[in-house]
């Protein structure tokens, strides 16, 4: 692959690295406020930010072609940050837990059962999935429902390619993703936070949208275990939890799937969970987000964009009340 990745993804001349006027003005205001009486230590922080990092062990290189049409031209989150700050409750509820405990996950052999309302149900192993479509690299924004975000170069292909292969019947209205739930490999599966296995789902047209990525790698390598190895989906216009990890089953169904977070807290996590700055979470605003590694200490949180900036999906929801169908 021709794309070079530095630890912080900063050696490409992204236009976003030129400080816009609004930002430096914000900084000046910030400095004025600081001078009015608070802590110091910014220089130390900047230095610490450039600390060295080590990639997680055992990843394989994946050859992929950048798909510029589906790639954000933004500063990428470092692989270190993207693989050490994760919500993957099968390995614990702390964000550092997945990086600490996911090494017990056995990602080979691995197979995905595809069944339900399809003409050709099948079981595919990882190698068949890797060969199923030409691998693309897509740099997507990831917006977590908790109010933080990252920019990650994923490797995979449109889920639509897989859907075509299994030939859904007219009864297939939704796609359900079931994640592995093996207490022997996943210490968090014993907890009562969620009903296991983790289930997520999409409406058929959402699943078929070219942006919906069946994902086998990131940063030019196979997925680290803590990021949902060996295969997951990435749905960039929805909050992160909609993108099921470590998938073992894909079911085509008539009824709307009972998704894990929606079952756990229906008033907080809707089935659609499209990124929407106008619909607050009951306990926090969704109007802004903290870009990991960039915002917070010296930069105000950034505005969250409708559909996480992927306005091309808006037509999927025309005529729908997105406040009601949050």
Partner 1 sequence: MQLDPTPRQLTLIKATLFALALLPLARMTWLTVSGQLVEPLEFITRGSGDWVLYFLCITLALTPLRRLSGWNWLIKLRRMAGLYAFFYACLHFLAFLWFDHFFDLAEMLRDVLKRPFIAVGFSAFLLLIPLAVTSTNGMQRRLGGKRWQRLHRLIYLIAPLGILHFWWMKAGKNDFAEPIVFGLVVALLLGLRLAWRRPKAKPARVSAAKQA
Is residue 268 a contact point for partner 1 (CB under 8 A)?
yes
Does a cis peptide bond (omega within 30 degrees of 0) precede residue 220? no
Q: Which of 296, 312, 320, 325 binds partner 1 (CB under 8 A)?
A: 296
For partner 1, the closer of residues 24 and 284 by Cβ is 284
How would you class 229 by CB atoms within 10 Å of its CB: exposed for 0-12, middle for 13-18, buried for 19 or more?
Answer: buried
Q: Tell me the closest approach of the beta carbon of residue 48 to partner 1, in angstroms.
A: 4
Site for partner 1 in 193-232 (CB under 8 A): 193
Site for partner 1 in 34-53 (CB under 8 A): 38, 41, 44-45, 48-51
Is residue 33 a contact point for partner 1 (CB under 8 A)?
yes
Q: What contacts 24, CB < 8 A, 6 or more positions away?
A: none
Q: State the binding string over 147-186 for partner 1 (x if CB under 8 A, else -).
A: -x--------------------------------------
Task: Report the Cα 210 to chain-centroid distance in Å.
Answer: 16
Three-state SS for 152? strand
Q: Which residue is it, tokens 């030019």? A: 220
Is residue 24 a contact point for partner 1 (CB under 8 A)?
no
Binding range to partner 1, per CB under 8 A, among 2-10, 55-63, 108-116, 292-300: 292-300
Is residue 326 a contact point for partner 1 (CB under 8 A)?
no
- Which residue from 12, 58, 222, 57 is spatially nearest to 135, judged by alpha carbons? 222
Q: Tell me the closest approach of the beta carbon of residue 49 to partner 1, in angstroms.
A: 6
DSSP string across 242-306:
GS--SEEEEEEESSPP--HHHHH-TTTS-SS-B--TTS-BTTB--SEEEETTTSSSSSPPEEPPG
Binding site for partner 1 (CB under 8 A): 30, 33, 38, 41, 44-45, 48-51, 80-81, 84-85, 93, 95-96, 148, 192-193, 264-265, 268, 282-285, 290, 292-293, 296-297, 300-301
């Amino acid at each position: 692959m021709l794309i070079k990745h530095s630890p912080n993804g900063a050696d490409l001349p992204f236009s976003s690295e030129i400080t816009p006027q609004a930002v430096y003005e914000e900084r000046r205001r910030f400095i004025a406020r600081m001078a009015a009486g608070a802590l110091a230590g910014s220089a130390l922080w900047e230095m610490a930010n450039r600390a060295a990092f080590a990639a997680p062990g055992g990843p394989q290189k994946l050859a992929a072609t950048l798909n510029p049409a589906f790639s954000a031209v933004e500063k990428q989150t470092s692989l270190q940050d993207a693989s050490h700050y994760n919500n993957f409750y099968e390995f614990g509820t702390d964000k550092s837990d997945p990086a600490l405990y996911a090494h017990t996950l056995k990602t080979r052999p691995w197979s995905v059962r595809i069944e339900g309302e399809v003409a050709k149900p099948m079981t595919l192993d990882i190698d068949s999935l890797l060969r199923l479509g030409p691998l693309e690299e897509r740099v997507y924004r990831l917006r977590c429902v908790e109010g933080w975000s990252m920019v990650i170069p994923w490797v995979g292909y449109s889920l639509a390619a897989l859907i075509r292969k299994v030939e859904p019947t007219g009864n297939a209205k939704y796609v359900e993703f079931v994640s592995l739930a093996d207490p022997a490999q996943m210490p968090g599966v014993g907890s009562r936070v969620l009903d296991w296995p983790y289930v997520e789902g999409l409406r058929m047209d959402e699943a078929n949208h070219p942006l919906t990525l069946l994902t086998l790698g990131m940063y030019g390598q196979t997925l680290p275990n803590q990021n949902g190895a060996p295969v997951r989906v990435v749905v960039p216009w929805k909050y992160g939890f909609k993108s099921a990890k470590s998938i073992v089953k894909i079911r085509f169904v008539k009824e709307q799937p009972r998704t894990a977070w929606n079952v756990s807290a229906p008033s907080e996590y809707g089935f659609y969970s499209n990124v929407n700055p106008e619909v607050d979470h009951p306990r926090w605003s969704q109007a802004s987000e903290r870009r990991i590694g960039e915002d917070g200490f010296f930069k105000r949180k950034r505005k969250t964009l409708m559909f996480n900036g992927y306005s091309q999906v808006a037509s999927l929801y025309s005529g729908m009340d997105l406040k009601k169908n949050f």
